[in-house]
Structure 1
Amino acid sequence: MTKRTPPLSSSGKSKLPSRGSGNLLDILRSSVPDLNNGEAKVARIILANTEWVSHASIKAVADRAAVSEPTVLRMCRRIGLEGFKALKHRLAQDLILTQVLNTPHMQDDDPFPSELVKVMLDSSMGALRGAAQATDVKVLDKAAAAVVKSRITYCIGVGGSSSVLCEELENRMFRLGLPVQSILDSYRQRMAAAVAKKGDLFVAISSTGVPAPVVQSIELARSNGAMTLAITQVDSPLAKVSEIVLPVEFFNDHTFFMLPAQTRYAQLFTIDCLMGTIAARMPDAAVNLQSIRNTLRALHGTIRHQPIGD
């Protein structure tokens, strides 16, 4: 019988999951043969009572498996988790994702395209209303002032939407003649923060406010005298280390998992509000926009209602 590869490497660190092995229940099933008797009992209890375990105490799980609490902890660590709390958190996440992915959203006779458009409209409008209600004009004006007076602005973020929005912010700023650079590589973010100085501004965008590279870069830049601004959730780790925070609520209530996250609309709205406030402080920026328009007109002629600079 071929022995299965254990979930942990010889160094004790969790291996990167292979494609399709990210679900915790799948990891547990494949790990049972490599666990000792007590640990295997715990794994089987979790597999048979997943939803219950996601709300149970470690003592309750240990009692049901007829093992000690340390055995439950050892089993968690054998599959690459820090402890029982991490196990419960991961189980809850996987249960929600499984429910979303496996729920039939469309029947043969459903008007799916019409429903999809309605969901898109409702979700985007809800996000925009939420962003507008959370906007503090005094904080917005303070953020705009920080951008205008900065020597250079660094826009940092990681992941899907946040990195794209950093480039969007860079595009919007450079058209006004503002010195700006988006940095999407986590190593370069730390490097820029390491040489930051007074007069620099670091703008971090994160829907969750959790990614360590961004949080650590903002902390480092701030310790070196740079001004820091975050577009993120209130009370998130990123918000707590930033001097100015433009709050964006994290939306996570989509009916259709394939739709873009609502948070993206709120982030774009906040960026638009920030840039509008900045532009009002920079009347001379119209010269830059006129120059951009003239260049594009020379490239492809006059186009009615052409966006300026796009």
Structure 2
Amino acid sequence: MVVEINHFIIYLREIKKTSKNTEVSYQRDLLQMASFLGQQGIMEVGKVTKTSLNSYILYLEKEGRATTTISRTLASMKAFFHYECAQGNIGKDPAELIKAPKVEKKEPTILTVDEVNCLLSQPDGESPKELRDRAMLELLYATGIRVSELINLRKADVNLTVGYITCRDEHKERMIPFGKVAKLALSAYMERGREYLLKEQDCEWLFTNCNGKAMSRQGFWKIVKFYGDKAGIKADITPHSLRHSFAAHLLRNGADIHVVQAMLGHSDMATTQMYMNYAQKEAVRRAYTGVHPRG
């Protein structure tokens, strides 16, 4: 089954043009599935049944895996077996009728403006690392891009003169503006920090780790965690918290929801709408405290 999985990953890369992160995620999920099925004596794709896949889902639930993880795994399985069916390798798709567990939607962690300001002020030194960290945090909050988009930015994707970045995902390209503060942080990093991190190596990536290599998602998560703790922020923040906060703060201050949707790269307006709900709650709270005698 591993051979078929590898062929599927090549198909994703060369035909579907999926991102590296998507490839890695699908491959990891499918190899874990294949390992479980192999222990049950199921070694060939054609011998996989709906029952055996349901057994694997049940196993993941018993292992205490999060519903989001199980849903993602099921999505990988469905894509793989749909591909195998389309290729004529199997006669029937065993994953077609399997339903994902219901995922409880959690409220996104949205920082206050004061919390964001406190977080972004933490890397205040002039070392190459602090210049890089400040630029990454400022740019993330200024644009609301995803962490994967941030760490995959190339130097050529930044236009400092006009003040915008070009982001590319699997399906489209979008240009996102950024403001003066992010521009100053980026300029300082590119002028006084980046070349020291590169250590005379050639690298197309805008942000690198301290060895001059591409920054990883885990590496940036640690950066956010470090400065969040340093700022004394009690909320359980992640890099995505700055994306949530970017959207919520823009909408609260009157930005058009369609503009925010375009900047975030959401294909579905409903995804952006959740930030509007937050903005409306904040507007009610501010109106109340502004006029109530004991507000």
> Which structure is larger by alpha-carbon Rg, 1 or 2?
1
TM exceeds 0.5?
Answer: no
TM-score (normalizing by structure 2): 0.32
> What TM-score does the superposition give when structure 1 sets the normalisation length?
0.31
